[in-house]
Amino acid sequence: MVPTTVKEKLSGDDFTRTQMEIPLFLPEDILEYLVGTLGLEIEQQAVEKYWLHARTFDCPWKNVSLDSSHWLLGLYGDAAKYSPAGQKNLAYFLNIVLWAPKSSRMSRWLLFSMEMDHCLGPESLNPLFNRIVKSLRSCYNGLTIKGQTYRFAVSELRGDWEWHVYAFDLQRNWRMHTFCWRCDVSRKPGAPCSMLDLEDEPDWAETQLSSIQFLSRMISPSTASSLSSN
């Protein structure tokens, strides 16, 4: 259980902040169970082939595993309706990139979930993320399972737009006229960077953001600060 700050609805649109303990499954515990108890295995040749591919195509994470021994992990965030009234649950999952069973339900393991009506974005999610990051560091350094050391590294961070708006407090979302998180394209009639500009060299193409511009303009300062501290 991890304590975090959530919102509690009052009358109308009013709400107050309160503390809630959210159940959390740690990556290290899930991986120890999968490998140690269930006997899940990934061929080392497949792992090495992945890292060779990453270096061949100059992927940004190509040198994360210098000895090509780390199994690849993915993190996936999503939300889903669970009631006719439209209420949603926000959930975060772990997967092993090179593990692809016939049933996709066997390849995703829940880390935590919470009702979206309770979520305050990073204020609610960061305490959970911090604990997950701490666990993933242990996984990266190595877990000793039945006398053998296994190492893991995160190579995928996935989620839809709604998830990223909640997780990183993005300053733009799909409801705005200037909605894109990568450029200044607009759906407002008559805007200079209209999304209806389908020329070979549209005006909006000149406004694409670099990684530094994305961090400085699309993520709130408080969220960027909390990310850099981890």
Alpha helices in the chain (DSSP H): 27-32, 44-56, 122-141, 161-168, 211-217, 221-228
Greatest pairwise CA separation for the chain in angstroms: 66
210-227 tens-digit pLDDT: 888 887 888 876 666 655
Residue with tokens 């090495």: 48
For 213-227, letters b (16+ CB in 10 Å) and e give eeeeebbeeebbebe
If pLDDT is split at 50, 70 and 90, which confidence band does 87 have? confident
End-to-end Cα, the chain, rounded Å: 20
Average pLDDT over residues 74-91: 86
Q: Give the pLDDT score at 230.
A: 54
| Cα-based torsion angle of the residue sequence 179, 180, 185, 186 in order, rounded to the nearest 10 degrees | -10
User: Is 72 in contact with 50 (CB distance < 8 Å)?
Assistant: yes
pTM (2 decimals)? 0.83
- Between 10-19, 179-188, 200-209, the lowest mean confidence (pLDDT) is in 10-19
41-66 tens-digit pLDDT: 999 999 999 999 999 999 888 899 98
